[in-house]
Amino acid sequence: MSRNDASIKVDKKMSFEERRAKVKADRQRFIDELLAKILALPKVQEYIKDLKQGETVISGVESAYDFEQSALEDFFESDASEILAVSEIWEEVREHLKEEFESNLSELKWFLRDGISFEAEEEMNNKLKDLQDELEDALERKHGKTK
């Protein structure tokens, strides 16, 4: 069970739609907190400072949203060891890999089909991309740039 699933306390009297809304709200809160943590990292703060001072120049980067969006993108282009050093990201990736591997081991036919060729690095990259997408959506919400 991943960190964000473990914190979900659901009232058994809640309807399915209410439970789904609660799970969605809990996930959004987790992602918002993760975004704040990433944006507060010294490396990310230094990158934003360099952008604001013109030491790093990227065309079209002018607003607070642009600075943070560029910094988030730069963070996810870092070495995997730097990205996974954020404990919440490591936990998300680790849980995803466990689920994928356990799924491949759930039945012999799946293991024979998928288990032998389980690509942990590819799965990790897929999960990181999904997290980056969720964080970019959170950044847009933060700056009122909802789609």
User: What's the whole-model pTM score?
Assistant: 0.79
Model pLDDT, residue 57: 62
Residues 6 or more apart in contact with residue 108 via CB below 8 angstroms: none
Q: What is the pLDDT of residue 115?
A: 61
pLDDT computed for residue 3 by the predictor: 47
On the CB side of 15, how many CA atoms lie within 13 Å of its CA? 3
Indicate the domain borders of the chain.
Answer: 3-142
The set of residues, in sequence order, having a beta carbon less than 8 Å from that of 110 and lying 6+ positions away, is 103, 104
Q: Which residues of the chain have pLDDT under 70?
A: 1-11, 55-57, 59-61, 114-118, 147
pLDDT of residue 106: 77
- Residue-wise pLDDT tens digits, 76-107: 999 999 999 999 999 999 999 999 888 777 77
